[in-house]
């Protein structure tokens, strides 16, 4: 029987890779809905190929353009947050690829969890912002949560079948590998003058610009650290980050008997996507086999927390409360400003630290409180951009 999919964030890099895998297995998958932010032309092409029942764009103006482009087809075009939640929770849908970038993915992903769907989680912000609420919804509604980030998918593959908690599985810790990004080995002073194009030129992975900047600052690894704690029930001190520039070992699990299990493969997101789509089976992904005879050396080094302090901020935020929500919101504002050349690369960490320190408090008890914390942090981050710091600024 075919799986029926909704792909949230179909026009991004993860969404495109998902549809590439789906197209290789027309006997296994059918597409119910595709969503995007603003790239309506790309979404139109995807709709013509996969013929979903619904297409959703966040912006109604772009949705009108898409509606005109798809006139005469069977795809109905919707717009707005409610429509995203609708196609994520529809009873016809078996599986939701959660690939919207940033905080915008929280509400539709939560709708999918509350509807008990199989969720392929590529949107780490859902757990960074609202880990307790999201995981509780997954458990209470019997949803199935499969990680898509290459690191978390690797850990999932290295854990024993039926994993429930670290103590009973004999897990002592996990190792998240990081490529180090385009600025590996650079000192903090040299990073002052880097440009958005330099930050987005990742040596191993093809990603969107926001996540590419996060990778360059090591914030992406920090967000993955927080996500890993929620996904696998770990304390921050059970998560180690190791720079591995070849991106061949995607992450590792240390066991109490001294064993270390690693998942390896070429750096291509179609591998974890195919793994999660077919789990517990295996299907072809289109990724080339790893050739050990031409692989060369595998190198490892400690991350430089002085040059890349965003990772240290994430370790602190992972201890609990609202710190991770505030950190994520501030970082989204900071990265947007950096890409728009309104903020220097090193100032991303300074802005993030100021906002997180100022606002971090108790954990949110509802999604409304999460969204309020998110908005307050964004407002303070924008205030930082106007003044260059928060010292002497009036409280909000």
Residues annotated within a binding site for 1-deoxy-D-xylulose 5-phosphate? 124, 150-151, 179, 202, 215, 220-221, 224
The pair of structure tokens assigned to 150 is: 């290459």
Cβ neighbours of residue 393 under 8 Å, at least 6 residues apart?
383, 384, 387
Residues contacting residue 129 through CB under 8 Å, at least 6 positions apart: 103, 106, 324, 325, 328, 329, 370, 374
Q: Do 114 and 141 form a contact (C-beta atoms < 8 A)? A: yes
Handedness of CA 215, 217, 218, 220 (dihedral sign): negative
Q: Among all chains, which residue has been given the structure tokens 């795809």? A: 75
Q: Which residues are annotated as a binding site for NADPH?
A: 11-14, 37, 123, 125, 208
Say how far apart CA 55 and CA 39 lie, in whole Å. 12
CB atoms within 10 A of CB 306: 9
In 3D space, the residue among 248, 35, 221 whose CA is nearest the CA of residue 128 turns out to be 221
Q: Count other C-beta atoms under 10 Å from residue 134's C-beta.
A: 25
- Bind-site residues for Mn(2+): 149, 151, 224
- Conformational region of residue 95, where left means phi above 0, alpha means psi within -120 to 50, and beta covers everything else: beta
Binding residues: 11-14, 37, 123-125, 149-151, 179, 202, 208, 215, 220-221, 224
> Residue 13 in 3-state DSSP?
helix
Q: 265-289 burial, b for 16+ CB within 10 Å, e for fewer?
A: bebbbbbbbbbbbbbeeeeebebee
- The Cα–Cα gap between 396 and 370 comes to 17
Q: How far is CA 314 from the centre of its chain?
A: 15
Place of tokens 């270390």: 260
Residue 66 in 3-state DSSP?
helix
Give dist(CA 235, CA 239) in Å, integer: 7
The residue assigned the tokens 């070849």 is 246
Cβ-contact 382, 369 below 8 angstroms = no
């Amino acid at each position: 029987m075919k799986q029926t999919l909704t792909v949230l964030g179909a026009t991004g890099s993860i969404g495109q890779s998902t549809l590439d895998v789906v197209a290789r297995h027309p006997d296994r998958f059918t597409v119910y809905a595709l969503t995007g932010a603003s790239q309506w032309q790309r979404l139109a092409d995807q709709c013509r190929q996969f013929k979903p029942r619904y297409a959703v764009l966040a912006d109604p103006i772009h949705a009108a353009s898409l509606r005109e482009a798809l006139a005469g087809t069977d795809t109905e075009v919707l717009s707005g947050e409610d429509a995203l939640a609708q196609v994520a929770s529809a009873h016809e849908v078996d599986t939701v690829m959660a690939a919207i970038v940033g905080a915008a993915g929280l509400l539709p992903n939560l709708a999918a969890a509350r509807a008990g769907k199989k969720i392929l989680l590529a949107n780490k912000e859902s757990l960074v912002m609202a880990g307790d609420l999201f995981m509780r919804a997954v458990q209470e509604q019997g949803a199935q949560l499969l990680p898509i980030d290459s690191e978390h998918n690797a850990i999932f593959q290295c854990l024993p079948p039926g994993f429930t908690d670290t103590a009973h599985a004999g897990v002592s810790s996990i190792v998240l590998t990081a490529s180090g990004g385009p600025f590996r080995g650079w000192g903090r002073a040299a990073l002052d003058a880097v440009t958005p194009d330099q930050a987005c030129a990742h040596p191993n992975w093809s990603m969107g610009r926001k996540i590419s900047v996060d990778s360059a600052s090591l914030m992406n690894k920090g967000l993955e650290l927080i996500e890993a704690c929620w996904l696998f029930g770990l304390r921050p001190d059970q998560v180690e980050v190791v720079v591995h520039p070849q991106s061949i070992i995607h992450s590792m699990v240390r066991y109490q008997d001294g064993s270390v299990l690693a998942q390896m493969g070429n750096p291509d997101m179609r591998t974890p996507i195919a793994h999660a789509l077919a789990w517990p089976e295996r299907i072809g992904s289109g990724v080339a086999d790893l050739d050990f005879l031409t692989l060369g050396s595998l190198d490892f080094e400690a991350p430089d927390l002085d040059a890349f302090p965003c990772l240290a901020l994430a370790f602190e935020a992972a201890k609990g409360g609202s710190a991770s929500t505030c950190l994520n919101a501030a970082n989204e504002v900071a990265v947007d400003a950096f890409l728009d050349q309104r903020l220097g690369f090193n100032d991303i960490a300074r802005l993030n630290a100021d906002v997180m320190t100022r606002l971090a408090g108790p954990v949110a008890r509802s999604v409304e409180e999460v969204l309020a914390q998110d908005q307050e942090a964004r407002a303070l981050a924008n205030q930082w951009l106007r003044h260059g710091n928060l010292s002497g600024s009036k409280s909000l």
